Amino acid sequence: MESNNYNDPSVIGGCSVPVRVNRKSKPDPTVVDLRGIRIGSSDIVIIAGPCAVENNEQLSETVKAVKTAGAAMLRGGAFKPRSSPYNFQGLGEEGVRMMRDISRESGLPFVTEVMDTRQVGFVAEYADMLQIGSRNMHNYPLLKEVGMLRKPVLLKRGMMATIEEFLLSAEYILSQGNDQVVLCERGIRTFEPTTRNTLDLSAVPMLKHLSHLPVIVDPSHGTGHRWMVPAMAKAAVAAGCDGLIIEVHYKPEEALCDGHQSLSPEEFSKLMTDLGKVAHAVGREILLPQPSVL
Amino acid sequence: MESNNYNDPSVIGGCSVPVRVNRKSKPDPTVVDLRGIRIGSSDIVIIAGPCAVENNEQLSETVKAVKTAGAAMLRGGAFKPRSSPYNFQGLGEEGVRMMRDISRESGLPFVTEVMDTRQVGFVAEYADMLQIGSRNMHNYPLLKEVGMLRKPVLLKRGMMATIEEFLLSAEYILSQGNDQVVLCERGIRTFEPTTRNTLDLSAVPMLKHLSHLPVIVDPSHGTGHRWMVPAMAKAAVAAGCDGLIIEVHYKPEEALCDGHQSLSPEEFSKLMTDLGKVAHAVGREILLPQPSVL
Amino acid sequence: MESNNYNDPSVIGGCSVPVRVNRKSKPDPTVVDLRGIRIGSSDIVIIAGPCAVENNEQLSETVKAVKTAGAAMLRGGAFKPRSSPYNFQGLGEEGVRMMRDISRESGLPFVTEVMDTRQVGFVAEYADMLQIGSRNMHNYPLLKEVGMLRKPVLLKRGMMATIEEFLLSAEYILSQGNDQVVLCERGIRTFEPTTRNTLDLSAVPMLKHLSHLPVIVDPSHGTGHRWMVPAMAKAAVAAGCDGLIIEVHYKPEEALCDGHQSLSPEEFSKLMTDLGKVAHAVGREILLPQPSVL
Amino acid sequence: MESNNYNDPSVIGGCSVPVRVNRKSKPDPTVVDLRGIRIGSSDIVIIAGPCAVENNEQLSETVKAVKTAGAAMLRGGAFKPRSSPYNFQGLGEEGVRMMRDISRESGLPFVTEVMDTRQVGFVAEYADMLQIGSRNMHNYPLLKEVGMLRKPVLLKRGMMATIEEFLLSAEYILSQGNDQVVLCERGIRTFEPTTRNTLDLSAVPMLKHLSHLPVIVDPSHGTGHRWMVPAMAKAAVAAGCDGLIIEVHYKPEEALCDGHQSLSPEEFSKLMTDLGKVAHAVGREILLPQPSVL
């Protein structure tokens, strides 16, 4: 008879969880607070907005739509990591300022990506949360730099990163003293060509099992198809995530970046209603912006 | 400005869907009927039972538990594909007969795996549905053999099969005249070691988009960890699957095969309740066995 | 200071090598003998021929060319595993007979694929060596069936199989009493789309390190591009393989199957010359057919 | 009959090669010159040295050994990208200065890694060539920064980067005006656990086919096992690479980093002799340091 490893810890694949992110060293879940928006509590936080900041009209129309639909927080890229040097690279510092302005106007906090250690100081002045993108999950100088801030960090899983490596990258941030880290599953690279990435929803229960950090999911990059986003967003909530980050564009067909995976305002509004039902079914609620904010 | 492929069909990765399984050639969803248990309708079918048939006590106790909890159909392996020739290989024909007997007694139809063209005739006499396992998804003589039956077939995705290859294997069955095929996502192989496989839930909306065949999910093999099964089962329902196939063992710690991924009766019963809530949240219901059956 | 696992056996990735294929249980390399063609000795065996047997002219012209160029053995598929049921499926039994005839005429032994347990008896009567293809590496009934023969078996690595699983499949054959097994690396599936597969040449030293069985390489399926075959064939010899299996077609542009990865007679002849030089550089020789054979 | 794509360019997997790195825009191979050491010419350049600079004794003893054995150029890491924040992180600027000193003393040029845009100016003052490591292949600000230098850059393939993405990252450097780029295949991530990575030697002919840039191979990281390095180094030369970068340590068992994949001086010396034979077999030679250098 073969060995029955029913209770064998090695069935977690020999994953070695570093000390600061380890749930064993801090049994209570970490809650990351952004001006009252608490990620990691029982309420699920929806972050929405365009892939990239393009211009004032695009930004204000999109933000108006996602706020009306009930998003608690904004996203919008200014420094864009693009595979080709000839693609739109983002508006840079100007884009960060535009996000700050619309954030103040709407009352919703925002997250934006930082790609270079030299940008960290500037972006940290403006943004509520700094995103480390998938391509920079292994960029250790950048992780150390945001680790020295006292600002929340959204760390996306590298498209090729194991769960162990993902947690080690979070540990780089915590090891510098910053424990305000939110983990984001955004799809991994596999052999399958029909989707942009393979959204690994099993990472949600696994990360919550191994670590005390909040876990959110990006179904937009995770699939690459706008028509798949609702199904996978609902599945992510059912799997136990603490939030979602979703690309919305007021005119997806005119987007400078990732239009094919961005929801229209109508699609996003419909999805918010559906997400509320699934959240309720698993004993949670979608966080609605506070009255004082509205 | 880069090309914006918002409406470009090639964003489905150039996947070429063969004619008989293609949704375009048959817009209405296929419903596979097993003695009144209809897979592919609005109700979600839960198939449960042990990984392998071991003996009479194990089988009858497990079946009693899954029937009480509300499973609509049984699973149980008699011909077991094991990576090592030195592992328990299943009870063979005797196991198939035991499944037939417990199926009659309980009133629940059952599915069991077939691995060899020479077994097909025998198994087809006894089982309500024949399973082609992941390791045999590319076994074309076997696909043709079950294609010549007029019996439902449960086709599991190869652990490293693309969506296109999966649909081509289904096409092998349909091309022989048998259109009673249910597709099953059961996890793909990736670089990640913490889970047995990476359950690709995005395959659910993708397969439903491309094909008219019903799609079910196996969260037991898909994760390899019993504690992950509930989260991923709920996520699968939220993603739109038509059913689940779940390993349950009356004493998981004593199972001869896959005990670490089998639910106990109590865990399965709790999960059934939770699945009902998630199904309801997405506008569906869990199929309950018909009164006449009970 | 981190742990230094310089001498730690676990750096072989925890691979568990089964007993009969294990080099530790049989330190001397296994040599598989086919009518005097010895695979696994110091000489490197080149197996060449068409992907599929198509007709008499194609077969005789191709065999004439590969024999002239110095191939020691023939390949040619009669039962063809094709992803689509609508592709050419091979000539079946007639194709096997044609291979037998051309083999007698040319004096070169041949290998051909078997896909179904029911074909094994027939093919074993005609062929010098039975091939288990990549898609059937996990087909355990088929492995057991060829394991009961006393005929050489060419076992191709599954496109998704780990080294450990590959050795376990070989163990299935040896466990039935047949130790005349040759392992064949033929490319694995990765995320890279420019090649049909990713030829894993590191499998050559790894398999030779762990097992006593001979190891050959298929650079045709391993790359999917005829212009890449020479570079990868030479690399395989430099890496220490015991043989190569190469697709050659007298008119590649008219092939019914895999023409884009088949060498023309001129390309194959040039390659044979180049392979001789590389073999010599690593202290080996390309096996030339015996005078009595010519 | 199926389509026969014998001459179809799409068999290169739809890979879109950007303009500046494209062989079509510059048919002559690029030769990168480092103080007379020319990478990309008919001679093959061997770069050797420790994974990380540790101390004076380690460095001088290792350099003495690799120079004696015939290496044309040195490697040695000072800024080390480590998965864990608790592993040895390298000697930093002091390590770069030590490399510069030993390089002057030995007469051999050297390459060292740069991880942060803020380090580029400093490292460029000292090093002959800057390495962008695998984890930073997608670090576009860093690519642009070294693109503004007029110094050679060694760009390693990301561990899960496609050939197309690899060439796009090189294009980032060329687009800033720096065309002195050498590409390095160092293994990709697959499902196989017995090797640290899967060394993709088919990348060598593919990259040489698509681009005019020189291509070298790292068999140390590519395998993770010192005993596999010789076989894969020889295979890389047979596959057509323009150079190798090999980890050597005077006492591998005491290395602070990657000792299990570092060759001892004796092993490296033996390998150099063997590489000469393989290079000769494919019509090339191993570049020996110029007499004036010795």
- Contacts of residue C175 in chain B, CB cutoff 8 Å? 85-86
Q: Is D215 helix (H, G, I), strand (E, B) or coil?
A: strand
D227-D230-D234 Cα angle (round to 5): 155
pLDDT of residue B214 exceeding 60, the answer is yes
pLDDT of residue D12: 74
pLDDT of residue C12: 75
pLDDT of residue A2: 35
pLDDT of residue D155 exceeding 90, the answer is yes
pLDDT in tens, C137-160: 999 999 999 999 999 999 999 999
Give percent above pLDDT 90 in chain C: 91
What rounded mean pLDDT belongs to chain D?
94
| pLDDT band (50, 70, 90) for residue C193 | very high
pLDDT of residue B174 exceeding 60, the answer is yes
To the nearest whole angstrom, how far is the Cα of C86 from the nearest Cα of chain D? Answer: 8
- Given a contact as 3+ CB pairs under 8 Å, which chains touch D? A, B, C
pLDDT in tens, D203-227: 999 999 999 999 999 999 999 999 9
To the nearest whole angstrom, how far is the Cα of D74 from the nearest Cα of chain C? Answer: 23
Q: Which residue of D has its CA nearest to A114?
A: D141
Give percent above pLDDT 70 in chain C: 94
pLDDT of residue B93 exceeding 90, the answer is yes
Task: Please classify residue C130 by burial: count the beta carbons closer than 10 Å to its beta carbon, then call 0-12 exposed, 13-18 middle and 19+ buried.
Answer: buried
Which of A166, A167, A194 best tests the B interface by mutation, with the highest count of B CBs <10 A? Answer: A194
To the nearest whole angstrom, how far is the Cα of C173 from the nearest Cα of chain B? Answer: 9
Token duo for residue B249: 């063992």
pLDDT in tens, C220-251: 999 999 999 999 999 999 999 999 999 999 99
Q: Is B75 helix (H, G, I), strand (E, B) or coil?
A: strand
pLDDT of residue C60 exceeding 90, the answer is yes
Q: Which residue of D has its CA nearest to A79?
A: D141
Report H helices in chain C: 56-69, 93-106, 120-126, 140-147, 163-175, 203-210, 219-223, 229-239, 265-281
pLDDT in tens, B102-145: 999 999 999 999 999 999 999 999 999 999 999 999 999 999 99
To the nearest whole angstrom, how far is the Cα of C5 from the nearest Cα of chain A? Answer: 16
Token duo for residue A115: 């790609």
Once rounded to an integer, what is the mean pLDDT over residues C199-204? 98
Mutual angle of helices A163-175 and A203-210, in 10-degree steps: 40
Q: Which residue of D has its CA nearest to B191?
A: D191
Contact: C84, B168; criterion CB under 8 Å: yes
Which position has the token pair 């993709």?
D200
What rounded mean pLDDT belongs to chain C?
94
Q: Which residue of B has its CA nearest to D10?
A: B14
pLDDT of residue A288: 87
Contact: B81, C115; criterion CB under 8 Å: no
To the nearest whole angstrom, how far is the Cα of A194 from the nearest Cα of chain D? Answer: 14
pLDDT in tens, C115-134: 999 999 999 999 999 999 99
Q: Which residue of C has its CA nearest to B80?
A: C140
pLDDT in tens, D111-148: 999 999 999 999 999 999 999 999 999 999 999 999 99
pLDDT of residue C11: 53
To the nearest whole angstrom, how far is the Cα of B109 from the nearest Cα of chain A? Answer: 29
* DSSP per-residue string spanning A65-119: HHHHHT-SEEE-BSS---SSTTS----THHHHHHHHHHHHHHT--EEEE--SGGG
List the single residue in C144, C160, C168 with the smallest CB-CB distance to B84. Answer: C168
Task: Please classify residue B293 by burial: count the beta carbons closer than 10 Å to its beta carbon, then call 0-12 exposed, 13-18 middle and 19+ buried.
Answer: middle
pLDDT of residue D294: 42
- Given a contact as 3+ CB pairs under 8 Å, which chains touch A? B, C, D
pLDDT of residue B7: 41
pLDDT of residue C1: 29
Contact: D282, C234; criterion CB under 8 Å: yes
pLDDT of residue C4: 38
| pLDDT band (50, 70, 90) for residue B5 | very low
| pLDDT band (50, 70, 90) for residue D11 | low
Contact: B193, D193; criterion CB under 8 Å: yes
Give percent above pLDDT 70 in chain B: 94
Choose between B37 and A258: higher pLDDT: B37
pLDDT of residue B6 exceeding 90, the answer is no
Contact: C190, A193; criterion CB under 8 Å: no
Do the beta carbons of residue B47 and residue B74 sit within 8 Å? yes
pLDDT, averaged per 10 consecutive residues of chain A (294 residues), comes to 40 82 96 97 98 97 97 97 93 97 97 97 98 97 98 97 97 98 98 96 97 98 96 98 98 92 97 98 91 46
What rounded mean pLDDT belongs to chain B?
94
pLDDT of residue B3: 38
- Contacts of residue D191 in chain B, CB cutoff 8 Å? 160, 189-191
Q: Which residue of C has its CA nearest to D188?
A: C190
Once rounded to an integer, what is the mean pLDDT over residues C36-59? 97
Which of B15, B188, B191, B196 best tests the D interface by mutation, with the highest count of D CBs <10 A? Answer: B191
Q: Closest Cα to residue D110, out of D49, D186, D38?
A: D49
Do the beta carbons of residue D226 and residue D192 sit within 8 Å? no
Give percent above pLDDT 90 in chain D: 91
List the single residue in A18, A116, A136 with the smallest CB-CB distance to D117. Answer: A116
